[in-house]
């Protein structure tokens, strides 16, 4: 089944669920008129359907590979990337001073969703670049901004982020990469980085690596880390790619999925780099990029969920098998298949609404400077990332189930969605880390951001949702009273409960705006609220039972 961009669904969520009109009413984003939004989503949807979707299978069957030190990308990916770049989709939210459109992040996320549904392996490339642009805008010197950002926006150059090392995964502070001053304002960067998405390609004029490394006087741990711009080719006096830098792609990972996206092991051997931001403040600068990417990765989960659902429904409509009480016909007339596909629709709507609500909050924070909007966006980010990717994995799995035995056969294409989306729950901070961030750092305000969101939910006239929101408020208060070990033990369940309650909240908003959506809202409430109650019960169990069994017993 060909991919169909959900333009009208995106418009509905923006207009009737998350209050995008508030963003467009600000001076900062006054150009985001309804007509502009419609034109952007329509054109991006057309590109996704016609140009990018045909590349998805090509990337899976013909992976990127390393040939004599050069990364050769999948057939058609270069043309697909040019279409993304020439459409201006990379720099949608970037500062117009450097060639960006200055549009809301909510529109960027909507466009990214469609690009990711069409071809997730390729969409990873501009996502990394978008995050790098934001990090440079916030932390780089004027000289670095003026040189790099316009070329990143245009797609002439591409950006990456280099955090992970063989011995330093989630514990970034354990990195061993070093940066030594050269005496001329540059630094010699040495070390090895792994899992570098789009670490190289054969269609970019330059690859711009943001690399975390430690200066000679940097302390141990994350507080002693600095951030450096280390380009593949050192720009000459005119800003064009010059001599090759002292770095290379050692190898490409052989992955479960996302075969069209080259994931590189990068080696830096005294490579020339430029400091981004203040010395020893690299993690703060990199977190700007990572937070952008975390919402973006949540949207990637949504992207695959949408594509997998469309694929499954297309198969269900065409597949004729068996008899049922309704009529002889497609398997879509079977109750169990309907359970799966309507559950997919309900969950996708919830994820899309959470992601767009988060994006709107980030836009309002930028436009108004209001700390409450900033706190809301920060609180929703780990929920959007974890729930979005968990949902993508679950729906891709159910898509295989809808196909039955044919789902296990690669030729149908159903399995690729599950293989491609699986990593999204791991990169940019595992979903367990997202949950721990939610109950840890995001509750450091005493629960103010959480309670503000729950106050909105509690205004509903749906009694069961109101009761669930009250239970979640009580659970939040319980979390605030616990030590971190007990919070962390229930963190994943707490995040899941919050996501499901928000999902029902958004469905009811949708039904109020359009009564034809009442049936799906009822399905969502009947599924999600019992799940939320179960997750809240799990969230309260604490850590004691987890550590009552020794490591030796576990490993026996």
Catalytic residues: 428
Residue 341 Ramachandran class (φ > 0 left, ψ -120 to 50 alpha, else beta): alpha
Burial 232-264 (b: 16+ CB within 10 A, else e): bbbbeeeeebeeebbbbbeebbebebbbbbbbb
Nearest-10 crossing angle of helices 518-539, 463-481: 30
What backbone torsions phi and psi does residue 530 show, to the nearest 5 degrees? -60, -35
Diameter over CA atoms, the chain: 80
Q: By three-state DSSP, how is residue 400 classified?
A: helix
CA pair distance 256, 459, nearest whole angstrom:
45
Q: How does DSSP assign 235-276, residue by residue?
A: E-TTSSEEEEPSEEEEEE---SS-TTS-EEEEEEEEEEEEEE
CA distance 541 to 548: 13
- Report how far residue 40's alpha carbon sits from residue 201's, in angstroms, rounded to the nearest whole number: 28
Q: 3-state SS of 474-498?
A: HHHHHHHHCCHHHHHHCHHHHHHHH
- Residue whose pair of structure tokens reads 């069961």 in the numeric block: 464
d(CA 191, CA 199): 15
Could you tell me the two tokens for 91?
A: 């720099």
Taking the chain, what is the end-to-end CA distance rounded to the nearest angstrom?
48
Query: Given phi > 0 = left and psi -120 to 50 = alpha, else beta, which region is 354?
Result: alpha
In this structure, what token pair is assigned to residue 169?
Answer: 């995964």
CB of 454 closer than 8 Å to CB of 443: no
Q: Which stretches of 140-219 are DSSP H helices? A: 142-154
Q: How many Cα atoms sit within 13 Å of 105 on the Cβ side?
A: 26
Nearest to 355 by CA among 17, 7, 37: 17
List for the chain the helix, strand, coil content (%; round to 5): 60, 15, 25
CB-side exposure of 85: number of CA atoms within 13 Å? Answer: 21
What does the DSSP 8-state code read for residue 207? Answer: E
Residue with tokens 């931001």: 277
- Could you give the CA distance from residue 9 to residue 546 in angstroms, rounded to a whole number? 43
Angle in degrees, CA 41, 124, 166, rounded to 5: 160
- Cα dihedral 82→87→91→95 (10° resolution): 140
3-state DSSP call for residue 232? coil
Three-state SS at 183: coil
């Amino acid at each position: 089944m060909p991919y169909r961009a959900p333009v009208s669904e995106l418009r509905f969520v923006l207009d009737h669920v998350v209050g995008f009109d508030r963003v467009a009413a600000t001076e900062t984003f006054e150009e985001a008129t309804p007509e502009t939004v419609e034109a952007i989503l329509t054109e991006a949807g057309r590109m996704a359907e016609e140009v990018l979707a045909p590349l998805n299978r090509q990337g899976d069957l013909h992976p990127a590979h390393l040939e004599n030190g050069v990364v050769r990308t999948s057939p058609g990916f270069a043309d697909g990337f040019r279409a993304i770049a020439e459409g201006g989709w990379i720099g949608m939210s970037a500062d117009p001073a450097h060639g960006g459109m200055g549009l809301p992040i909510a529109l960027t996320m909507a466009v990214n969703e469609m690009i990711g549904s069409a071809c997730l392996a390729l969409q990873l490339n501009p996502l990394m670049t978008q995050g790098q642009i934001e990090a440079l805008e916030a932390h780089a010197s004027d000289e670095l901004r003026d040189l790099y950002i316009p070329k990143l926006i245009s797609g002439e150059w591409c950006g990456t982020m280099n955090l992970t090392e063989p011995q330093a995964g989630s514990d970034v502070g354990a990195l061993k990469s070093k940066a030594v001053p050269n005496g001329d304002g540059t630094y010699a960067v040495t070390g090895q980085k792994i899992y570098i998405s789009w670490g190289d390609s054969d269609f970019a004029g330059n690859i711009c690596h943001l690399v975390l490394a430690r200066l000679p006087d940097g302390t141990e741990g994350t507080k002693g880390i600095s951030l450096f711009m280390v380009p593949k080719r050192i720009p000459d006096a005119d800003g064009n790619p010059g001599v090759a830098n002292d770095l290379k792609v050692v190898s490409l990972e052989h992955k479960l999925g996302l075969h069209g996206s080259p994931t590189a092991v990068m080696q830096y051997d005294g490579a020339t780099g430029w400091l981004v931001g203040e010395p020893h403040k690299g993690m703060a600068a990199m977190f700007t990029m990572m937070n952008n990417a975390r919402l973006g990765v949540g949207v990637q989960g949504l992207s695959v969920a949408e594509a997998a659902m469309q694929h499954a429904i297309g198969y269900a409509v065409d597949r004729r098998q068996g008899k049922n009480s309704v009529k002889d016909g497609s398997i879509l007339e079977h109750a169990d298949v309907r359970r799966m596909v309507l559950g997919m629709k309900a969950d996708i709507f919830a994820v899309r609404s959470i992601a767009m609500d988060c994006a709107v909050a980030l836009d309002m924070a930028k436009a108004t400077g209001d700390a409450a909007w900033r706190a809301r966006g920060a609180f929703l980010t780990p929920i959007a990332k974890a729930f979005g990717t968990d949902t993508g994995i679950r729906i891709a799995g159910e898509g295989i189930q809808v196909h039955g035995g044919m789902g296990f056969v690669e030729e149908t294409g159903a399995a690729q969605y599950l293989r491609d989306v699986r990593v999204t729950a791991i990169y940019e901070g595992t979903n367990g880390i997202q949950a721990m961030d939610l109950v840890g750092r995001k509750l450091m305000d005493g629960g103010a951001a959480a309670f503000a969101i729950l106050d909105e939910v509690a205004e509903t006239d749906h009694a069961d949702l109101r009761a669930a929101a009250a239970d979640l408020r009580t659970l939040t208060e319980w979390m605030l009273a616990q030590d971190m070990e007990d919070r962390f033990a229930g963190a994943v369940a707490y995040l899941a409960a919050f996501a499901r309650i928000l999902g029902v909240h958004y469905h009811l908003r949708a039904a109020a705006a359009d009564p034809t959506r009442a049936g799906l809202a009822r399905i969502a409430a009947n599924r999600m609220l019992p799940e939320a109650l179960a997750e809240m019960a799990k969230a309260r169990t604490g850590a004691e039972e987890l550590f009552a069994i020794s490591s030796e017993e576990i490993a026996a």
